């Protein structure tokens, strides 16, 4: 399970980067391959994160969604007796660990956003 929508948000701190850059928010279950978050996609779900007022609550919402999505995919694998149809990924963007100063900008913006 990955805390971002692939392939647009690969790598580290994708929840934070996605929120900061206004990318779609959600999670993906994918097959692990030799790349960084580049394996075939099994399932993706969007998540409404407008209620998140800090990074911890943002990550909590996405954690809950990715655990549920992974459980749904595993149930589907059990019922089908194999993997669902695999969706190959296209080009995407890879993110790296967010610098604390950028993280602070994101946190401050989330705290002051309108309800």
- Note the pLDDT tens digit of each residue in 21-51: 999 999 999 999 999 999 999 999 999 999 9
Tens digits of pLDDT across the chain (115 residues):
999 999 999 999 999 999 999 999 999 999 999 999 999 999 999 999 999 999 999 999 999 999 999 999 999 999 999 988 788 898 999 999 999 999 999 999 999 887 6
**In DSSP terms, which residues pair with 44 in a beta bridge?**
28
Place of tokens 């998540």: 47
Q: What HEC string does 61-99 produce?
A: HHHHHHHHHHHHHHHHHHHHCCCCCCECCCCCCEECCCC
């Amino acid at each position: 399970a990955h805390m971002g929508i692939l392939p647009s948000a690969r790598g580290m701190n994708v929840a934070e980067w996605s929120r900061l850059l206004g990318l779609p928010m959600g999670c993906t279950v994918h097959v692990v391959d030799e790349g960084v978050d580049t394996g075939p996609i099994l399932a993706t779900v969007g998540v409404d994160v407008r209620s998140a007022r800090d990074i911890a609550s943002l990550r909590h919402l996405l954690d809950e969604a990715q655990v549920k999505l992974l459980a749904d995919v595993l149930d589907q694998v059990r019922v089908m007796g194999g993997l669902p149809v695999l969706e190959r990924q296209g080009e995407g963007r890879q993110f790296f660990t967010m610098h604390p100063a950028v993280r602070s900008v994101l946190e401050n913006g989330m705290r002051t956003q309108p309800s």
